[in-house]
Amino acid sequence: MNLALEARRQLPTRPVCRALHVAPATLYRKAAVKEDAFSIPSPPEAAPPRQHHRALSGKEREAVLAVAHEDRFVDMAPAAICATLLDEGRYLCSARTMYRILKENGEVRERRRQATHPRRDPPELLATGPGQVWTWDITHLRTSVKGATLKLYVCMDLFSRFIVGWYLSRSESAAEARHFFETLVERHDIDKQELVIHADNGGAMRGRPLTDLLESLGIERSHSRPRTSNDNAFSESQFKTMKYRPTYPRWFETEAEALGWCRKFFEWYNNDHRHESLALLTPADVHSGAAQEKLEVRAETLAAAYEMTPGRFVKGKPTPKRPPTTVALNPPKPHRSDPPQGATQLQEVAK
């Protein structure tokens, strides 16, 4: 091959290949590697941009800025300035060119007063047990009458997902919400000083009747940020579970029909629904404290299965999944300097 490369410098390539029984492609490839033919040449220097023959010169652009800075033109649009100059028998440039020159110098902005809204921090709620945080919302149930809906008020315990109460009405108002929570407070034995009730920003949630009631009871209120449904994700998720049930009708013919369906649904949701975020326990199990007993039964069952056929459990003795010990709404993001959280500090987001 070296002989062919040397001969190629003085003789034609193909006769050399035939005489030495070398493929031309192989010779070309070897020659390219030897001569460093694949090195990337440095790009040529970019030529300076050429000025268009119709563009304004530097002095002309300065003259346009000087005119725009005059006291009589400081509050006028470029189109109005050009029109005024034309009436005076002067022409400097088109209105679009004046806009472009002003923009290049940072002198074009929105002249109208713009509404500004302060940044709102997301609500951060933490629950380590039942009865600490309640989250509630209102959803509409369609009826057979076009445009008419029934309003379903639902309040859920954040930690256990237990529906502490629900209320069906034809209207949505703060007075109805006050009546709803008066009933809930009387029905449940809770520590009012430790309870936080979270809701959206609707009129029923922020109305004076409900606000006065909660303040008189010493219950802290929390509200979502405007137009941020994720701030009330647990209630929204519960509504999706309800409306995706196979038995959920397209609409309700009467209020009595809707009342009966809701009664059956919430009975199922609290006592029979295996909640994935609760380690497939029911909300009633977690809310009443029966979760530990059921977890022990699961552990004994798995241990017995492991003793009978340990080879089927390749990862060793199985343990049942446990529900989280802490549930957070908008959990704070850890700083880089913070140590990693342990399993006992697990914070769960709504699914």
Q: How many domains does the chain have?
A: 3
22-42 confidence digits (pLDDT tens)? 888 887 777 776 555 445 556
The residue among 239, 58, 275, 54 whose CA lies nearest residue 160 is 275
Per the CB < 8 A criterion, the answer to whether 234 and 199 are in contact is no
- Nearest-5° Cα angle at 128, 124 to 131: 90
**Residue 198, exposed/middle/buried by CB under 10 A (0-12, 13-18, 19+)?**
buried
Which residue is listed with tokens 């009589």? 72
**At which of 105, 139, 167 does a domain end?**
105
pLDDT at residue 275 above 60? yes
State the amino acid at position 214 in one-letter form.
L
Q: Does residue 349 belong to any structural domain of this protein?
A: no
pLDDT at residue 233 above 60? yes
Q: Does residue 193 belong to any structural domain of this protein?
A: yes
The residue among 198, 187, 188 whose CA lies nearest residue 231 is 198
In this structure, what are the phi and psi dihedrals at residue 19, rounded to the nearest 5 degrees? -70, -35
Segment 121-144 mean pLDDT: 94
Q: Does residue 326 belong to any structural domain of this protein?
A: no
pLDDT category of residue 169 using cuts at 50, 70 and 90: very high
Q: What's residue 189's pLDDT?
A: 85
- Strands (E) in the chain, as ranges, are 125-127, 133-142, 149-157, 163-169, 196-199, 220-223, 326-329, 347-348
pLDDT at residue 343 above 50? no
Cα 106 to Cα 114: distance, rounded to the nearest angstrom: 19
Which residue is listed with tokens 């609707």? 202
Range(s) of the domain holding residue 153: 125-278
Sheet strands side by side (includes 347-348): 125-127, 326-329, 347-348
Per the CB < 8 A criterion, the answer to whether 170 and 149 are in contact is no
Cα 219 to Cα 213: distance, rounded to the nearest angstrom: 9
Q: For the domain that residue 160 is a member of, what is the CATH number?
A: 3.30.420.10
Domain identity same for 240 and 143: yes
pLDDT at residue 342 above 50? no
Q: Does residue 206 belong to any structural domain of this protein?
A: yes
Segment 253-268 mean pLDDT: 96
